[in-house]
Amino acid sequence: MKLLVITDAHLITQNGQKVAYAPYVKEMNLWMSQVDHTTFICPNKIRGPLLGLPFKIQDFKQIALRRLEFHTLISALISFLTIPYQAIVLWNAMRKADHIHLRCPGNLALLASMIQVTLPRKRKTAKYAGNWDPESKQPLAYNMQKWILSNTVLTKNMQVLVYGKWKSQTKNIKPFFTASYYNNDKEPIIDRNFKQPLKAMYVGTMGANKRPFETVQLIKFLRSSGLDITLEMYGDGPVVEDIKWYRKENGILDQIVIRGNQPGHVVKEAYKNADLLILLSKSEGWPKVVAEAMFWGAVPIVSSVSCVPWMIGNDKRGILIHDPEHIGAEYLGKQLTNKEALLEMSKEAAEWSRQYTMDTFAQEIKKLLQ
């Protein structure tokens, strides 16, 4: 089988190896292992560093297309001029493939989603890695992709993989997930008694969307209300210096530790020993760190965005924050002193997350390609 993958994700060469964003590579390794040959259509140049991982299978074809960008007048003009060429390249590659796999959302993926309409007999899948919530506010390009992909009159012979279960969806929309661990990674959950001091952690980019600064403020407010709680932060980004200043100004240097970017095995050990994971994101697709923390029994405190309510069972497996701007430290503090409830959430979180392993992920991909 010849698999064609169309994506806006960068795929570059480093030290003689083809590499891409690490979580994406781990998933694509599973797709590539099920087919005879893979072709990627994607950008091959990137500005700045890439948290890259080499593909296990290096023998694949890459067709380089520039990203379609419209942030400035010049980039928009160049993008519009290149669209006809890109459309021809995409259509020719689609015509030769046995299975077309789109990675959405993205501008290149939007163009590809339009072109696939002309090939109704081709077998296709689309992985929509953004927020599929029909009620959420999305950029126009994202809404267009969602409309085309879910329109079964235009889009034929395609399964669209989305995060979460949503009401009133067309028959080609399939709830999906992203896994991090294998079945053989499962270990007994460390016994937590949820006694103070509670150990919380944050994992992710230190940028405005993930609200790391607001997470630090929450810890400070919880401590001020009488709850003994500490925080370890894993990640890096533009907000780090603000957090360092805030810790010093508020006398909580010892209670909030910044670990920076760490390898997976270090973060894994932190999950095992943490009581809580806090993630107050403004937007998410599939919040991988939430699923990983739940796998090890850490109770998530998460904003109610995208598929998160589905993941944590509407407060059954964690604590939903509906308004991160007005959380209410006293209210949350009461929830965090209810040890029995936290123990039940921890148990439910681990049981739910451990359904979604890389092994089950591989089986789902195999079914999709059959």
Nearest residue to 215 (alpha-carbon basis) of 287, 300, 294: 300
C-alpha 200: how far from its chain's center? 21
Question: In the chain, where are the structural domains located?
Answer: 2-182+358-369, 187-353
What tokens were used for 201? 């952690």
Give the chain's mean pLDDT: 93
What tokens were used for 85? 């060429």
Dist CA 227 CA 136 (whole Å): 34
Q: 73 pLDDT exceeds 90?
A: no
pLDDT at 321: 92
Per-position b or e across 128-165, b if 16+ CB within 10 A of its CB:
bbbbbbeeeebeebbeebbebbbeeeebeebbbbbbbe
Dist CA 318 CA 295 (whole Å): 12
For 187-353, which CATH class?
A: alpha beta
pLDDT at 106: 93
What tokens were used for 267? 């973060």
CA atoms within 13 A on the CB side of 194: 19
pLDDT per residue as tens digits for the range 210-253: 999 999 999 999 999 899 999 999 999 999 999 999 999 999 99
Nearest residue to 288 (alpha-carbon basis) of 274, 271, 275, 273: 271
pTM for this entry: 0.89
Dist CA 145 CA 111 (whole Å): 9
What type of residue is 183? N
The number of beta carbons lying within 10 Å of the beta carbon of residue 110 is 20
What tokens were used for 119? 């090939």
What tokens were used for 116? 């696939």
pLDDT per residue as tens digits for the range 170-223: 999 999 888 999 999 999 999 899 999 999 999 999 999 999 999 999 999 999
CA torsion angle 18 19 20 23 (round to 10): 130
pLDDT at 31: 97
Q: 36: pLDDT confidence band, cut at 50, 70 and 90? A: very high
The number of beta carbons lying within 10 Å of the beta carbon of residue 235 is 21
In the CATH scheme, what is the code of domain 2-182+358-369?
Answer: 3.40.50.2000
One fold for 2-182+358-369 and 187-353: yes
| Mean of pLDDT values over 80-107 | 96
The number of beta carbons lying within 10 Å of the beta carbon of residue 282 is 12
Q: 50: pLDDT confidence band, cut at 50, 70 and 90? A: confident
3-state secondary structure 10-76: CEEEECCEEEEEHHHHHHHHHHHCCCCEEEEEECCCCCCCCCEEECCCCCCEEEECCCCCCCCHHHH
